[in-house]
Amino acid sequence: MTPETSIADVILHPVRIRIVQQLGGRDLTTAELRDAIPDVSQPTLYRHVAALIDAGVLAVAKERKVRGTTERTLTLGDRMAHVPEAELQAMSDLQLRSAFLTFLGDLAGRFDRFADQEAPGARGFLGFGSVPLYVDEAALEQLQAGLATLIAPYTTEQGEGRRRVGLSMIVIPED
């Protein structure tokens, strides 16, 4: 894969989307990433990490020697993991459906892992719902920009006492 490969083709794989989700807002060593995704075999994880690095979605923040091997610390790369509007428009209906189902599958998997290993007090951080909005394209862009500004201070690992949570949003036009 090269940086010219469609971002959707790169990240819309169940293992790759989980890797990108783990790195959002923090840097992890490959060992920490393995610990965060224990159900993925090491060779599979490393193969997908390599593909994400090759495509510019991930980058190596630093390297250090550890017992004769090189330990890499990974971070999100320049391309990040966002499908640009032009690529979204160019997707076929089948590609769009596949992308959405991959997203939903990852979301359902995260919920299942939460439910299976729930820590005491964790339900206070859980919430889900749906609300109708009445917007035109300009208002939706303004809303999305406002949300991005609102959540920006919370998208990086900061200090003690904070818990990592996932905020997922879906905007679907209704009739």
Q: Is 170 part of a structural domain of the chain?
A: no
- Per-residue pLDDT tens for 21-69? 888 878 999 999 999 898 899 999 999 999 999 988 899 999 988 888 8
Which residues lie below 8 Å from residue 151, measured CB to CB, with a gap of 6+?
A: 167
> Where does the pLDDT of residue 172 fall: very low under 50, low under 70, confident under 90, or very high at 90 and above?
confident
The CATH number linked to 43 is: 1.10.10.10
Q: Are 74 and 98 in contact (CB under 8 A)?
A: no
Q: Is 127 part of a structural domain of the chain?
A: no
CA 17 – CA 152 distance, rounded (Å): 21
Number of H helices and E strands in the chain, helices first, is: 7, 3
CA distances from 138 to 84, 141, 168 (A): 17, 5, 22
Domain residues for the domain of 87 are 7-122
